[in-house]
Amino acid sequence: MLTKRQNLLETIRGGNPDRFVNQWEAFGLVSGDPIAAKSPRPLKGQEIVNSWGVTIRFPENTPGPFPVHDYEHKVIKDITKWKETVKAPSLDAPTEAWDAIKAQAAAVDRNEKFLAMTIAPGIFEQVHYLMGMDDTLLNFYEEPEAMHELIDFITDWKIEYSKLLVKHIKPEVIIHHDDWGSQINSFLSPEMFAEFIVPAFKKLYGFYKANGVQLIVHHSDSYGANLVPYMIEMGIDIWQGAMTANNIPKLIKKYGGQISFMGDINNGVVDVSDWTPELIAREVERACRSCGKLYFIPNTTMGGPMSTYPGVYEAVSAEIDRMNKILF
Bridge partners, 272 (sequence order) = none
- SS3 call for 302: coil
- pTM beyond 0.85: yes
Inter-CA distances, 325 with 14, 19, 48, 288, 316, Å: 20, 8, 46, 12, 15
Digit-coded pLDDT (tens) for 202-253: 999 999 999 999 999 999 999 999 999 999 999 999 999 999 999 999 999 9
What is the chain's pLDDT, residue by residue, as a tens digit (328 residues)?
999 999 999 999 999 999 999 999 999 999 999 999 999 889 989 999 999 999 999 998 788 899 999 999 999 999 999 999 999 999 999 999 999 999 999 999 999 999 999 999 999 999 999 999 999 999 999 999 999 999 999 999 999 999 999 999 999 999 999 999 999 999 999 999 999 999 999 999 999 999 999 999 999 999 999 999 999 999 999 999 999 999 999 999 999 999 999 999 999 999 999 999 999 999 999 999 999 999 999 999 999 999 999 999 999 999 999 999 999 9
Nearest to 119 by CA among 25, 30, 199: 30
How far is residue 220 CA from its own chain's centroid? 6
Q: What's the CA gap between 94 and 236, in Å, rounded? A: 32
Residue 193 identity (one-letter amino acid) = F
Helices 277-291 & 312-327 angle (0-180, nearest 10): 50
Q: What's the CA gap between 50 and 67, in Å, rounded? A: 10
- SS3 call for 113: coil
Question: Could you tell me if 23 and 297 are in contact, meaning their C-beta atoms sit under 8 angstroms apart?
Answer: yes
Contacts of 210 (CB under 8 A, 6+ apart): none
Bridge partners, 214 (sequence order) = none
CATH architecture, domain defined by 4-327 = Alpha-Beta Barrel (3.20)
Question: Strands, E, within 159-254: which ranges?
Answer: 173-177, 215-219, 238-242
Q: Rounded to 5 degrees, what angle do the CA atoms 320, 323, 324 make?
A: 90
What's phi and psi for 27, nearest 5 deg?
A: -115, 120
Cβ neighbours of 92 (radius 10 Å): 9
